[in-house]
Amino acid sequence: MLILAIDTSAVASAALISDDAMEGVVDSFATEDTRSHAEVLVPGIEQLLAGAGVSGADIDLIVTGVGPGPFTGLRSGIATARTLAFAWNKPLYGLMSLDAIALEVAESTGAPAEFLVATDARRKEVYWARYTLLDGQLPELADGPHVGFASELPDLPVYGAGAGIYADVVKADEDFQDTQPSAASLGQFALALLSAGRELPDSTPLYLRESDAQVPGPRKRAL
Amino acid sequence: MNSAPASDPRQAGPLVLGIESSCDETGVGIVRGTTLLSNTVSSSMDEHVRFGGVIPEIASRAHLDAFVPTLQESLRTAGVTLEDVDAIAVTSGPGLAGALMVGVCAAKALALASGKPLYAINHLVAHVGVGLLDMPENRLPEKRLPENRLPENLGALLVSGGHTEILRIRSITDDVELLGSTIDDAAGEAYDKVARLLGLGYPGGPAIDKIARTGNPKAIRFPRGLSQPKYMGTAEEPGPHRYDWSFSGLKTAVARCVEQFEARGEEVPVADIAAAFQEAVVDIITSKAVLACRENGITELLLGGGVAANSRLRELTGQRCRSAGITLHVPPLQLCTDNGAMVAALGAQLVMAGIAPSGVAFAPDSSLPVTTVSV
Ligand SMILES: [Zn+2]
């Protein structure tokens, strides 16, 4: 099984995942910055395919991160994934982007049985979710995703770049304080879920916030 | 099917798929050369009504969900597959940044998946490109044939919710000049704001156009922005805004007028105010556009953008062009509003002119200058 995974909920990233490859990852790329998704994503995927010597026809399914994440960047990945799935006529699934970090936590040494994952939501807030972990199993989402102030998170260890930014008010795990959701981990998570016979959700974005638009009130009459 | 002789140049040309997402319309259109094959548009306008204007984030969300269904429908209508397509074109600016991003990402993905060349093109020039499609209402192609050249001295007046510009087009593929534009609100935006002031709903253009017909445009005189000598100068020594427009002062004048009626406890004469406002907008747009044409030797003018639907604008532009000896071209209305066919039409011109494609590494540019026809 060959999976193309894409996530642009924070940085732009893509990966080719195969159950034949070591650790499941054929190849992957991720940007450092969080603002150039539209430029770099498709060229990056093009290189991934060329480097691995595969074409669209060889891919079995596409998985995209559905956020939460800053809207414009998030949509870049979903628009790309949906269009590729249409053009190649491949099934498309969506995974919650914070799952990518949760899987990396689960695979690290000393992972706690219950923890939070947080990423930057800008405006002094974080996107976060609570996970539980049983020995040797995949992390299970227990609560979330939510958006809110870092200072109001449950009192648990927090993993991910959202914890790093607010290390003064949360129990940030040092090894994970710069970690962003990556397509490589997201794709591995998808592969693990499929191997376990689980169904994957669709690509509906998780915005968590409404647009800022205000419905204008009635105009004040001059009197 | 209309079967034309194979030698007819209008029946040949590259098959180009165009994608538009710069504002609140998700458009996918397909042309072969200068022949329109499909023009599918999905609008999120209904979702903006309660806000009285386009909300960028709402438009962007709608683009994401509308894109693949719109693409599918456009391919089906044209009776072609992605493999048949020779090139893909997409609006890369100007427009709303987040909205442009959706179309650009989708277009790049489509180019990658199909291996077709991708052209990143200018939305404003695409409004002109649509005038080159072969259809009874479009007279430009007739003039262009048989040498496949545009008339010399071609100008374009673009008026919509997002833009108000007068352009000179020497070559649609690589020589477009901005003669004048609005320095604040677009004309369509001014319509929306005034319609809200008058309680006429959204979108303001059709609402004001309709009620204005029952009002007296001379009942009130509203100011014509940037018409004073210090802005206009003379033909020899043009002022700083000779061909530019401004609508924010007009909007304020309408608000003050409404307040004065209310303060006096009188009923607000909505139809008269709408008619007088519309007359002020249309008067200043057409007088400056015709001035720009005359002083720049433009003898063929194309009208584009959604406000081309406005009956008074069409009427007065027609009148003033006629007396100035300018031939006016107005494409069919569904091609004047934002759509994918105009993007495809310009894309086909670029392909036919042998212009190199843009690749997949460009970034959308919300303020792309009109001089950049393709990236
Ligand atoms: Zn437009």
Contact A84 B113 (CB under 8 A): yes
Radius of gyration of chain B (CA): 21
Looking at every residue in chain B, the average pLDDT score rounds to: 92
Shared domain check, B129 and B261: no
Contact B67 A38 (CB under 8 A): no
> Using an 8 Å Cβ cutoff, are A18 and A48 in contact?
no
Q: Does B157 reside within a domain?
A: no
Q: C-alpha distances in angstroms, B350 versus B78, B80, B104, B121?
A: 21, 21, 18, 9
Closest partner residue to B64 (CB to CB) among A41, A46, A75 is: A75
Residue in B314, B311, B375 with CA at minimum distance from that of residue B347: B375
Instruction: Kindly list the residues from chain B whose CB atom is less than 8 angstroms away from the CB atom of residue A45.
Output: 112
Number of domains in chain B: 2
Pair of tokens at residue B250 = 């007009």
Query: Is the torsion defined by CA of B360, B361, B367, B368 positive or negative?
Result: negative
Q: Does B170 reside within a domain?
A: no
Pair of tokens at residue B9 = 């140049």
Strand B87-93, strand B15-20: pairing: parallel
Shared domain check, B219 and B129: no
Pair of tokens at residue B355 = 């212009």
Cβ contacts of A42 within 8 Å, gap of 6 or more: A80, B105, B108, B109, B111, B112, B360
Pair of tokens at residue B281 = 């907008």
Which pLDDT band, with edges at 50, 70 and 90, does B221 fall under? very high
Whole-number pLDDT of residue B7: 44
Shared domain check, B297 and B343: no
Q: Which domain holds residue B255?
A: 178-330
Does the pLDDT of residue B119 top 50, yes or no? yes
User: Which of A59, A208, A209, A211 best tests the B interface by mutation, with the highest count of B CBs <10 A?
Assistant: A211
Does the pLDDT of residue A219 top 70, yes or no? no
Cβ contacts of A20 within 8 Å, gap of 6 or more: none
ipTM: 0.95
Shared domain check, B38 and B112: yes
The dihedrals phi and psi of B350, each to the nearest 5 degrees, come to -65, -45
Shared domain check, B195 and B324: yes
Shared domain check, B340 and B237: no
> Using an 8 Å Cβ cutoff, are B70 and B27 in contact?
yes
User: Which of B64, B202, B266, B366 best tests the A interface by mutation, with the highest count of A CBs <10 A?
Assistant: B64
The dihedrals phi and psi of B44, each to the nearest 5 degrees, come to -100, 20
Shared domain check, B197 and B117: no
Whole-number pLDDT of residue A217: 67
Whole-number pLDDT of residue B144: 58
Q: Which residue of A lies nearest to B197 if distances are taken between CA atoms?
A: A219
Residue B96 Ramachandran class (φ > 0 left, ψ -120 to 50 alpha, else beta):
beta
Give the integer Cα–Cα distance in Å for B145 and B13.
Answer: 14
Closest partner residue to B98 (CB to CB) among A71, A84, A213 is: A71
DSSP state of B200: -
Shared domain check, B187 and B200: yes
Listed by number, the residues of chain A in 188-207 with a beta carbon closer than 8 Å to a beta carbon of chain B are 205, 207
Size of interface A-B (CB pairs under 8 A): 115
Whole-number pLDDT of residue B51: 87
Q: Is B134 annotated as a binding residue?
A: no
Cβ contacts of B127 within 8 Å, gap of 6 or more: B156, B158, B304, B305, B336, B342
Whole-number pLDDT of residue B3: 43
Q: What is the pLDDT of residues B17-75, one digit of tens each?
A: 999 999 999 999 999 999 999 999 998 888 888 888 889 999 999 999 999 999 999 99
Does the pLDDT of residue A132 top 50, yes or no? yes
Contact A56 B262 (CB under 8 A): no
Shared domain check, B107 and B40: yes
* C-alpha of residue B124 to centroid of ligand 1, in Å: 6
Alpha helix stretches (DSSP H) within B300-353: 311-323, 333-336, 340-352
Shared domain check, B127 and B70: yes
Which pLDDT band, with edges at 50, 70 and 90, does B228 fall under? very high
Whole-number pLDDT of residue B57: 95
What chain A holds in terms of domains, given with CATH numbers, is 2-96+181-195 (3.30.420.40), 98-176 (3.30.420.40)
Contact A211 B106 (CB under 8 A): no
Does the pLDDT of residue B2 top 60, yes or no? no
Shared domain check, B273 and B240: yes
Shared domain check, B341 and B276: no
Which pLDDT band, with edges at 50, 70 and 90, does B4 fall under? very low
Q: What is the pLDDT of residues A36-58, one digit of tens each?
A: 898 999 999 999 999 999 999 99
Residue in B15, B120, B5 with CA at minimum distance from that of residue B75: B15
Q: Does B366 reside within a domain?
A: no
User: Which of A80, A89, A204 best tests the B interface by mutation, with the highest count of B CBs <10 A?
Assistant: A80
Q: What CATH number does residue B16 fall under? A: 3.30.420.40
Pair of tokens at residue B332 = 């069919």
Residues in chain A: 223
